[in-house]
Amino acid sequence: MSNLENVDIQTIVERGVVRLPRKPTATLSYGIAQGHGPLSTTHLLVFLNGLIMHQRGWDATIQNLLQIWGAGAGTANYPSLLTYDRYGQGDSEPDPADEQSKYGHDMREVVRDLNDLVFKIWYDKQQDGAPSRPHLVFVANSIGCVIARLYAETYPSSVAALLLLDSNIANSDLVSIFPDPDLQDFDPTSLPAGVSVADLRDTRAKYKAIFHPSVRNPENLDRRNVADLLPYDHKPVLKGPDSRGAWITVVEHDWDTFAEEGLTGSLKTPKGLTNAYMNPAWHRYNEGLVRLTEKERSEGPVTAKGCGHFIQRDDPGFVANAIHRLVMKLKQTS
């Protein structure tokens, strides 16, 4: 154990900006904590943001994680840790690709940018003698999980492990998870106790206005084709560098916490609606994500007790321990 609890995270993580070869007119903001030991020469751990929380949202997790690993100790063995803000997010500049479409850039563009960033950081920051391409470990939240999956599918055998924290439901518009009161076969008596048809209409309208894939976001990330890119929760299977399935841990929010936040937050969603429709649908999706690899290499869905959607914010220690377990599995098979 190190004394990192007394060290400012800003002294641990080196902050900087890069200009990627394909987009030299815009800067991308990143942070990197250098690894130690053999894993630092073969693996790179990358944190993938959602739409709301930016790269600084991982700071507490990183500090917890480096405490667990005894950062800097002679026997420490862990990969470098990379955070970044996507184009149009946080401290990064807008994506030059946005000039070509009024809806901005899509997931495929984000994946290409991520691949360019990985190669540049690996080339610039790693020591001599390291392989030309690192084995990647993705720690992702929300839509970052969608990016992680699409990257692993686009670049087979490049991703060794994934920690998926409350993944977006990629193959749904979220609105249709709730029953449509305008359908001819809708039965009002099927609604949970204490929930009215007016409540249902209001919830569907708010979800459509905020979460529907067609809704614009400050990042200019076009989500309209996400369901086409990843139509299934359980396939394609993701292969790791050793030609076997990648190591995958799936974590989901605490149902009660999420329902409470939905009620008390801006959505004002009745708990009955969240618990009758959204939470079960999300859980079924997470059960599918576990099947993206071999049974022996999967874990979950694990519930993050007391956590809402932003698990890294609500319990960074839990996330750090989940990362540690995942990296320990890599050590045992490397």
The answer to whether residue 212 sits within a structural domain is no
pLDDT of residue 2: 44
For the record, the structure tokens of 10 come out as: 């800003």
Is 177 contained in some domain? no
Q: Do 195 and 272 form a contact (C-beta atoms < 8 A)?
A: yes
Rounded CA gap, 207 and 269, in Å? 10
**Within a domain: 86:** yes
202, part of any domain: no
In-domain check, residue 209: no
Q: Is residue 182 part of a domain?
A: no
pLDDT of residue 297: 98
Q: Nearest Cα to 141, choosing from 314, 333, 329?
A: 314
Instruction: Count how many domains the chain has.
Output: 1
List the end-to-end C-alpha distance of the chain, in Å, as a whole number: 24
Asked if residue 207 belongs to a domain, the reply is no
Rounded CA separation 334/238 (Å):
18
**CATH code of the domain in which 271 resides:** 3.40.50.1820
Q: Rounded distance, CA 65 to CA 78, Å?
A: 10
What angle, 0 to 180 degrees and rounded to 10, lies between the N-to-C axes of helices 59-69 and 316-333? 50
Residues 48-102 have pLDDT tens digits of 999 999 999 999 999 999 999 987 666 789 999 999 999 999 999 999 989 888 8
Residue 219 lies in a domain: no
Name residues of the chain where pLDDT drops below 50. Answer: 1-4
Domain that residue 127 falls in: 4-170+225-333
